[in-house]
Amino acid sequence: MRTVRLFGAFVLAAVVLGVSACGADGEGAAGIYRTNGCSACHGADLGGGALGPALTWSEGDTVELADGSTATIDADYVERAIVDPSAEIVAGWEDTMPVASLSASEVDLLVDYLLAGP
């Protein structure tokens, strides 16, 4: 009987942690991307749109910035772009991205999602 209760507690903990990691809609980072409006500007397929650049790069690629410098696409760059979007503006685009109010774990999920590509 003790084994059954321990197993039940383990399953409950796994479900709670899974829902927390995936967001309330159970879709993980894709759900975060969609429900926070990212797809409205960057496209549902990350291919870009009228208001935001494509996010279809690969880790290690470089992107030209509005000030003429370049940035290497890595986890640090993607995180900065999410939490402080005005810090480094991609060349050819305006500073229109709103600051998202995401938890640290949501930012981490979103960074991993964007680096994995479509």
In order of their start, the domains of the chain are 27-116 (1.10.760.10)
**Residue 23 reports pLDDT greater than 90:** no
Lookup: tokens for 66: 């509005």
Q: How far apart are CA 118 and CA 12, in angstroms?
A: 32
**What's the rounded mean pLDDT across residues 8-35?**
57
* Residue 1: per-residue pLDDT: 53
Task: Quickly list DSSP for 48-116.
Answer: --SSS------TT-EEEBTTS-EEE-SHHHHHHHHH-TTSSPBTT--S-PPPP---HHHHHHHHHHHHH
Lookup: tokens for 37: 């409006």
pLDDT one-digit tens code per residue, 71-113:
999 999 999 999 999 999 999 999 999 988 999 999 999 999 9
pLDDT one-digit tens code per residue, 35-78:
999 999 999 999 999 999 999 999 999 999 999 999 999 999 99
**Residue 19 reports pLDDT greater than 50:** no
Q: Please provide the size of the chain in residues.
A: 118
